[in-house]
Amino acid sequence: MRKPLFRVLACVMAVVFPASVVLADTATAMITPMGNVAVNGSPVLQSTSVFPGDKIVTSANSTASITGRGLSLLVPGNSVLVMSDKDVELDCGSALVNASNGMGARLSNIRLAPRDSNARFEIRQEQGGFRVLAHDGVLNVTNGSVPSLQPGQTMFAAAGCAADPASDQRNGAPIPAAGTNIGAAVLLGVAIAGGLAALVYFTTRTSMSASR
């Protein structure tokens, strides 16, 4: 009886396991929400995978951390972006981007990508468009006002917020606002991380004391 059962389980694992590997490989990145964050109109309460075509919206006073192969982002509140295979397209709001291995970011028809191995840059929505600031590494700019940005250089990309307010309201998502402060988002993320670390520390100490 054990051999037939073993063969059945082996066949099931042979089918299920490769399928799970394929599904895992199709994910573009992992998103970790801090506050009110939605993917395709549905609230995200914990870390989850995001896929090409997924639309991510952050509410006011919220932050999303996105990490994938060759791309990591910190996205503050009032932002809208869409994931793709090689890039992330920022429709509204702001983002702090660290890109490598050919990955990059898009603002409408403008593409931003590292010239060399990696680059770290910031995108902020302003009145009438977006401000791009290069922090580390040379940033190649396609279809922009300049061909590239050296660390410390900045450029302005004229573009409107691509979000559809009526559609966002139907999906229960917030309507983005310009001028989101990335520094405040960083501080919010640090504060939340610090609070979680303190909670783990005191919980561990309490458990150790109780065991004694």
In CATH, what number is assigned to the domain containing residue 204?
2.60.120.1440
For residue 4, what are its two tokens?
A: 């037939």
Residue 91 is assigned to a structural domain of this protein: yes
Domain span at residue 128 reads: 29-210
The C-alpha atoms of residue 107 and residue 34 are separated, in whole angstroms, by 24
For residue 111, what are its two tokens?
A: 């593409």
Residue 14 is assigned to a structural domain of this protein: no
The C-alpha atoms of residue 101 and residue 181 are separated, in whole angstroms, by 28
State percent of the chain over pLDDT 70: 64
Collect all residues with Cβ–Cβ distance below 8 Å to 75 and sequence separation of at least 6.
Answer: 56, 58, 63, 64, 65, 66, 81, 93, 94, 95, 96, 185
What is the per-residue pLDDT across 161-188, written as a single tens digit (0 to 9) for each?
Answer: 755 433 343 344 443 444 444 554 444 4
Long-range contacts of 34-37, Cβ-Cβ distance < 8 Å, separation of 24 or more = 34/62, 34/63, 34/64, 34/65, 34/188, 34/189, 34/192, 35/59, 35/61, 35/62, 35/63, 35/77, 35/188, 36/62, 36/174, 37/62, 37/63, 37/64
The C-alpha atoms of residue 77 and residue 187 are separated, in whole angstroms, by 13
What is the per-residue pLDDT across 22-61, written as a single tens digit (0 to 9) for each?
Answer: 334 567 899 999 999 999 999 999 999 999 999 999 999 9
Residues 153-162 have a mean pLDDT of: 86
For the cut 90, the answer to whether the pLDDT of residue 72 exceeds it is yes
Residue 19 is assigned to a structural domain of this protein: no
Residue 40 is assigned to a structural domain of this protein: yes
Looking at the structure of the chain, the number of domains it has is 1
